[in-house]
Structure 1
Amino acid sequence: MNQLLRNRVFVIVATADLLQQVGIWIRNMALLFYIMNQTNNDPTAVSLLTALEYLPIFVFSLIGGTFADRWNPKKTVILGDTLSAISMVVILALVSLGLWQAVFAATVVSAIVSQFSQPSSSVLFRKHVPAEQVGAAIGITQSLMSVFTIFGPIAGTFIYTQLGLQFSLIILFVIFLLAAFIQLFLPPSSREKTVEKRSAMEDLKGGIQYVIKHSNLRLIAGMFLLTGVAIGLTQPLDVFVTMERLGLPKEAVQWFVACEGVGMLVGGILAATITKWVERHRNNVITSTLILWSIITIIEVLSIFPLLTAGVRIISGVTTAFFQVVFSTLMIKEVQVEYIGRTNGVITPLLMGGILVGTLVSGFIVNSITLFGVYGLSAVLIMLCTILTAKLKVYGEGDNTREVESK
């Protein structure tokens, strides 16, 4: 812990990520309520808002990952947050002119920019954080982000309900600008000059081939696609579960999101504390997490008691934290540094493509059938992922590279 806190790159990247998380939650809550007010609580409009968040990620993830491996990571993360800040000013101007539909662009722009900056953050972690500290670093970062998952929805709801959309956009501008400023203090970083001798298309193809040749990455890709659809089906419907199953106003969704944040905080701390044990029993941890995740998905839609729903959201947060810590550690430790951006760029579109499909159809499914059908389908898809996780291999340091070279 002390060694990580003395690591300047870790502290700066983690702080910038936390600021971005605050901005994301303020954006999410403000736009959710604003769109619902403008469309009279239309489920299709809400699912469209979520879809627009993931469509750019699906389209630009591979491109962003490829260029993250080629560009200077420090300059990339600074430019990304700066562009996000500028976009908030443009959208604020359009909304002030009466073009309320411009709020959809806030989600689109933020999603596009993140596909270039997030892989660069992973590159910085891989280059400057010792391999034996990666699991703990991710666990700590996950725990800190969970704090803002707790308070972010509350803050976002308060800012929007008390001060309105325009002030929310101003806050977003300040947050992204501050994140960019903090990252100016990162140490100089450059990419290998030999990379520039290859074209971007050659790098892109190389990233795809790297994933195909790596058995664990192939399994993770399939699992991410299934979980993406499962997440996409239910994510836009949380607010409707709050209103229809629990009989609460839509603003109450913030408290259940906060409960999940509490679970993520606990799960992140626990995962960071027992990181060595988690890595030794990785497959069992992932499989157990998926089974529990599937069960609580069903309980959430069946529950008519707010306290029960809050409880399962806490458990959901714990499972999500373990899921993220395990896979983030796996991706950083097993993937060669020159392929980190492209590997993320190949696998992330599958997750986001799944989420995109799920969000696009969730509104139509719930209007055609019921909430129960949507959540039941999501639970089944999550359970199917256990078939893939059972086949994951556990490698020693560098073994994954030898597997790739032997093929």
Structure 2
Amino acid sequence: MILLLRNRVFKIVLIADLLQQAGIWIRNMSLLFYIMDQSNNNPTAVSLLTALEYLPIFIFSLIGGTFADRWEPKRTVIFGDSLSALSMLLILLLISLGIWQAVFAATVISAIVSQFSQPSSSVLLKRHIPSEDVGTAVGINQSLLALFTILGPVFGTFVYTQLGIRSAVIALFIIFALAAAIQLFLPSSNREKSQEKNTAISDIKSGFKYVLDHVNLKLIAIMFAISGIAMGITQPLDVFVTMERLGLPKESVQWFAASEGVGMLFGGILAAAISSRIIRYRRAVLTVTMIIWSMITLTEVLSTWPTLTVIARVLSGVATAFFQVVFSAMMIKEIKEEYIGRTNGIVLPLLMGGMLLGSTLSGIIVNQIELFGAYFIASVLTLSCVVFTLRLRTDYMNVNDKHHN
């Protein structure tokens, strides 16, 4: 742990991530409230904001991951944050001219840039952090990100309500500019550019081949798609469970979300402390996580006691932290460096696609078989992922990488 905290790359990446999280929450809350004010609480405008946040993930995730594999990671992360900062100045100008719809562009630009910079951060961690410390590094990062899950909405709301949209956009410019400046201190590398002889299309094809050649990655891809559908079914229904099952006002849903954030915070700390053990037994950890998520899904819809629901959400947060630490460590440690971006770009959109499909089906399912039926289907889908986690091989990816070298 002490050696990790002395690692210059880890500290720079961590500080940059924290700055970006602050920027994301200021952006999310400020733009949400600003758009609601400008559109007279038009739900179409609000839903468009959400769509513009997720749509670039499908369009640019694989593209961003491919170019993150081709480009030098230090330049990529600096360029990404610099572009985000400059875009804030353009949006500030457009707002000053009365074109309030320009704020939608802030979400689009930020979402696109993140598809290039996030895989590059993973490459930096893989390159500069000892393999045995990767789990601890991911756990620390997840804990701090969980803290933003709890405090982020409050922080973002405060900036907008107290300072207004112009000051919020200026704050975003400063935050992204600081993140870019800090990453100037990352070490440069003499990364071989042999892949530049190939076209981007051929790189994408080789990325799909890499995933298909690895049993673990194929299993994870299927698992992500199924669990994404399950999460998508229940996510829009949380507010109805709060009102109908617990008899609380809809505003109370935020406290249950915060409870899950608390669980993620403590789960991340615990996972960081025992990272070597949980990564060693990753198949068991992922399997138990799926079982816990399945049981918690049923508990949420059956519970009529707010205290029980809070406990369930805290446990869900702990399980989520363990899952994220194990999964992220697997992606960093076991995938060849030149394939990290493309692998993320292929696997992670399946989760998002599943969530959007589940969210689309959610209303239809509730109308046909009510809340209990929807949560039961989500629970069964989550439990079915155990079939895939139990088939994960703990040595397969490393062995295959040797064959590829």
Pairing of 1:7-406 with structure 2 (within 5 A) = 7-34=7-34, 38=39, 40=41, 42=43, 48-238=48-238, 241-242=241-242, 252-362=252-362, 370-395=370-395, 398-402=398-402
Question: Which amino acid letter does the alignment assign opposite residue 22 of structure 2?
Answer: V
Q: Secondary structure at the match of 1:3?
A: helix
Residues 11-42 of structure 1, C-alpha deviations (whole Å, 9 max, x = no match): 10011111112222333334445556646484
Q: What is the distance in 2 between the residues matched to 1:49 and 1:364?
A: 23
Question: Which amino acid letter does the alignment assign opposite residue 214 of structure 1?
Answer: H
Superposed displacement of residue 403, structure 1: 6.2
Q: 1:289 to 1:113 in 2, by over 3 A?
A: same
Q: What is the distance in 2 between the residues matched to 1:165 and 1:109?
A: 17
Question: Which amino acid letter does the alignment assign opposite residue 182 of structure 2?
Answer: I
**Identical-residue share of aligned pairs (%):** 65
Q: Secondary structure at the match of 1:265?
A: helix
Q: 1:47 to 1:229 in 2, by over 3 A?
A: farther
Question: Which amino acid letter does the alignment assign opposite residue 136 of structure 2?
Answer: A
Question: Which amino acid letter does the alignment assign opposite residue 150 of structure 2?
Answer: I
Residues 371-392 of structure 1, C-alpha deviations (whole Å, 9 max, x = no match): 5554443333222211111110
Superposed displacement of residue 213, structure 1: 0.3
Q: Secondary structure at the match of 1:392?
A: coil
Cα RMSD between the aligned structures? 2.8
Q: What is the distance in 1 between the residues matched to 2:224 and 2:353?
A: 9
Superposed displacement of residue 397, structure 1: 8.4
Q: Secondary structure at the match of 1:61?
A: helix
**2:224 and 2:350 in contact (8 A); partners too:** yes
Residues 69-125 of structure 1, C-alpha deviations (whole Å, 9 max, x = no match): 110101110111122223333344444555544443332221111110000001101
Residues 205-237 of structure 1, C-alpha deviations (whole Å, 9 max, x = no match): 111100000000000111111122223333345
Question: Which amino acid letter does the alignment assign opposite residue 9 of structure 1?
Answer: V
For structure 1, the 5+ residue unaligned runs are none
Q: What is the distance in 1 between the residues matched to 2:314 and 2:226?
A: 23
Q: 1:158 to 1:365 in 2, by over 3 A?
A: farther
For structure 2, the 5+ residue unaligned runs are none
Superposed displacement of residue 143, structure 1: 1.4
Q: What is the distance in 1 between the residues matched to 2:202 and 2:107?
A: 31
Question: Which amino acid letter does the alignment assign opposite residue 389 of structure 1?
Answer: T
Residues 154-207 of structure 1, C-alpha deviations (whole Å, 9 max, x = no match): 212333344444443333222222211111111113431312212111111111
Q: What is the distance in 1 between the residues matched to 2:30 and 2:258?
A: 15
Question: Which amino acid letter does the alignment assign opposite residue 19 of structure 1?
Answer: L
Q: What is the distance in 1 between the residues matched to 2:308 and 2:89?
A: 41
Q: What is the distance in 2 between the residues matched to 1:18 and 1:209?
A: 34
**1:80 and 1:116 in contact (8 A); partners too:** yes
Q: 1:304 to 1:356 in 2, by over 3 A?
A: same
Q: What is the distance in 1 between the residues matched to 2:31 and 2:106?
A: 9
Q: 1:299 to 1:7 in 2, by over 3 A?
A: same
Residues 125-153 of structure 1, C-alpha deviations (whole Å, 9 max, x = no match): 11101111111111111112222222112
Q: What is the distance in 2 between the residues matched to 1:193 and 1:227?
A: 37
Q: What is the distance in 2 between the residues matched to 1:31 and 1:388?
A: 39
**1:153 and 1:257 in contact (8 A); partners too:** no
Q: What is the distance in 2 between the residues matched to 1:244 and 1:296?
A: 18
**1:153 and 1:258 in contact (8 A); partners too:** no
Question: Which amino acid letter does the alignment assign opposite residue 185 of structure 2?
Answer: F
**2:230 and 2:382 in contact (8 A); partners too:** yes
Question: Which amino acid letter does the alignment assign opposite residue 314 of structure 1?
Answer: V
Q: Secondary structure at the match of 1:19?
A: helix
Question: Which amino acid letter does the alignment assign opposite residue 289 of structure 1?
Answer: T
Comparing 309-318 and 47-56, the one that deviates more: 47-56
Q: What is the distance in 1 between the residues matched to 2:404 and 2:115?
A: 26
Q: 1:277 to 1:265 in 2, by over 3 A?
A: same
Superposed displacement of residue 370, structure 1: 4.8
Q: 1:133 to 1:326 in 2, by over 3 A?
A: same
Q: What is the distance in 2 between the residues matched to 1:235 and 1:46?
A: 17
TM-score if structure 2 supplies the norm length? 0.89
**1:80 and 1:117 in contact (8 A); partners too:** yes
**2:73 and 2:123 in contact (8 A); partners too:** yes
Q: 1:372 to 1:396 in 2, by over 3 A?
A: closer
Q: 1:46 to 1:288 in 2, by over 3 A?
A: farther
Comparing 240-249 and 115-124, the one that deviates more: 240-249
Q: 1:314 to 1:245 in 2, by over 3 A?
A: same
Q: What is the distance in 2 between the residues matched to 1:232 and 1:39?
A: 28
Q: 1:366 to 1:47 in 2, by over 3 A?
A: farther
**1:49 and 1:104 in contact (8 A); partners too:** yes
Q: 1:375 to 1:19 in 2, by over 3 A?
A: farther
Q: Secondary structure at the match of 2:385?
A: helix
| Count of aligned residue pairs for this structure pair | 404
Q: 1:45 to 1:384 in 2, by over 3 A?
A: farther
Q: Secondary structure at the match of 1:69?
A: helix
Q: What is the distance in 2 between the residues matched to 1:249 and 1:114?
A: 35
Q: 1:88 to 1:285 in 2, by over 3 A?
A: same
Q: 1:317 to 1:197 in 2, by over 3 A?
A: same
